[in-house]
A and B are shown apart, each in its own frame.
Chain A
Amino acid sequence: MCCRVGVTIMSEKVKLEIYRYNPEQDDKPYMQSFEVPVEKPGMKLLDALNYIKWHLDGSLTYRRSCGEGVCGSDGLNINGVNGLGCITAIEGLKQPIQVRPLPSMDVVRDLVVDMQHFFDQYKQIKPWLQSSTPKPEHERLQSPDERAELDGSYECILCGCCTTSCPSWWWNGDRFLGPAALLQANRWLKDSRDDATGERLDDLEDSFKLYRCHQIMNCMEACPKALNPTKAINDIKRSLAKRKV
């Protein structure tokens, strides 16, 4: 039974259309079609990209590492929605599967985009612990409740799926920090061990850095870790409002 299922699946093929751009050869990007056999049940999009690279066209360029949704390397635009190639199942995707790089980014080659600005924005929110208390001998302790405050923030893998799905960031990405950086900003605001809340809020109180969010919620829809950056941004806005009262 198992083998018969295997054979049936082996004979199936999936059609893909992939965004190609080689700066050394191409004047402009184009879409290239491929057909890939379904090698195993539960095959993921990354498996199909690997098949193309290993068997059909070795020049196809994309980022990947862990292959299981932890490293955040293979953020892609898949059939119009951002997600991770390694955890997006081929099954259920409309064919031909349109694979493009993350939106509104400078394309380095094929599916590889320049993430420099994205990580610069992450750096802007100072994603490290700022404490005014003396360094303890061991770790800084938190109660279970204080630790639970970080749920929904710490899971972020900085894949960029949310930020590059945001129309506000497409238009104002030079100044609007974007969902990923703001989710992390909120993570440090909520951390009981951090003493720089005031300075962090001062830095965020800006009509562009924070308030370009118009609750479009593409970030929440795109997040492969099922997080909610829109809620995090609203939390920051409320923290700013509360300290004025």
Chain B
Amino acid sequence: MKMNNKQPPLSPHLPIYKWRLTMFASIAHRMSGVFLVLTMPMAFWLLLSMSHGKIMYAYGLSWLQSSTGTVLLWLMCVALFYHLINGIRFLLLDIGKTDSREAMKLSAKIVVFSTIIFALVLAVKI
């Protein structure tokens, strides 16, 4: 029998923990927030440049109608929609509303499923 004084192993966490909807809702909130921070400057740049005459407008429009532009615009809208409604969910929790166990789970379901519906509708309409 060998004795070793090595560091004890850390029990597994993220790879084995079962995803719960509330966990997904919180992590998706952060991810959508980071995504929006990264893409908002691009959106403002697009808006500013498109307001600088016909040529720039046509250029911006053609980029928006390209497949990259469409997908990015769709992603931004979905991220904004999700971040907005989950943000309202978090604000309600901050003021002490909807903070029962049942309401926390139900509100996570509502924000995630309404985002899925929004994303699908937008994908068809865009």
Residue positions of A touching B, CB distance < 8 A: 19, 21, 23-25, 28-29, 77, 79-81, 98, 100-108, 113-114, 164-165, 167, 170, 214-218, 220-221, 226, 228, 230-231, 234-235, 237-238
Interface pair B13/A230, CB less than 8 Å apart: no
Instruction: Identify B23's interface contact among A21, A25, A217, A228, CB under 8 A.
Output: A217
Cα A94 to Cα B11 in complex, Å, equals: 21
Interface secondary structure of B, over-half rule: loop
Nearest-CB residue, chain A, relative to B18? A80
Q: Is B12 an interface residue (CB 8 A)?
A: yes
Which of chain A's residues have a CB closer than 8 A to the CB of B13?
Answer: 103-104, 164, 167, 170
Whether A215 contacts B3 in the complex (CB less than 8 A), given A28-B9, A103-B11, A107-B11, comes out as no
Whether A24 contacts B8 in the complex (CB less than 8 A), given A216-B22, A217-B104, A220-B22, comes out as no
Q: How many A-B residue pairs have CB under 8 A?
A: 108
Nearest-CB residue, chain A, relative to B20? A221
Which of chain B's residues have a CB closer than 8 A to the CB of A234?
Answer: 93-94, 96, 99
Interface pair A221/B22, CB less than 8 Å apart: yes
B4-26 interface mask toward A, CB cutoff 8 Å, 1 = contact, 0 = none?
10101111111011101011001
B43 to chain A, nearest CB (A): 26
Whether A231 contacts B11 in the complex (CB less than 8 A), given A80-B17, A218-B23, comes out as no
Interface pair B26/A217, CB less than 8 Å apart: yes
Interface pair B90/A113, CB less than 8 Å apart: no
Interface pair B17/A220, CB less than 8 Å apart: no
Which of chain A's residues have a CB closer than 8 A to the CB of B99?
Answer: 228, 230-231, 234
Instruction: Identify A100's interface contact among B16, B26, B101, CB under 8 A.
Output: B16
Q: Is B109 an interface residue (CB 8 A)?
A: no
7 new A-B contacts at CB < 8 Å, known A106-B8, A107-B10, A215-B22: A24-B1, A81-B18, A98-B16, A167-B23, A170-B13, A220-B22, A230-B93
Interface pair A80/B8, CB less than 8 Å apart: no
Could you list 8 examples of A-B contacts with CB < 8 Å?
Answer: A23-B6, A24-B1, A100-B11, A101-B11, A167-B17, A217-B22, A218-B23, A238-B95
Cα A107 to Cα B11 in complex, Å, equals: 6
B59 to chain A, nearest CB (A): 40
Total chain B interface residues with beta-carbon distance under 8 A = 33
Q: Is B27 an interface residue (CB 8 A)?
A: yes
Interface pair B104/A105, CB less than 8 Å apart: no
Instruction: Identify A214's interface contact among B16, B20, B26, B94, CB under 8 A.
Output: B26
Cα A103 to Cα B12 in complex, Å, equals: 5
Interface pair B16/A80, CB less than 8 Å apart: yes
Instruction: Identify A170's interface contact among B6, B14, B26, B100, CB under 8 A.
Output: B14
Cα A103 to Cα B93 in complex, Å, equals: 27
Cα A234 to Cα B104 in complex, Å, equals: 12
Which of chain A's residues have a CB closer than 8 A to the CB of B22?
Answer: 215-218, 220-221
CB-contacts of B10-56 with A (<8 A): 10-14, 16-18, 20, 22-23, 26-27, 29-30
Cα A144 to Cα B105 in complex, Å, equals: 30
A16 to chain B, nearest CB (A): 15
Which of chain B's residues have a CB closer than 8 A to the CB of A101?
Answer: 11
Instruction: Identify B1's interface contact among A25, A28, A81, CB under 8 A.
Output: A25
Interface pair A79/B11, CB less than 8 Å apart: no
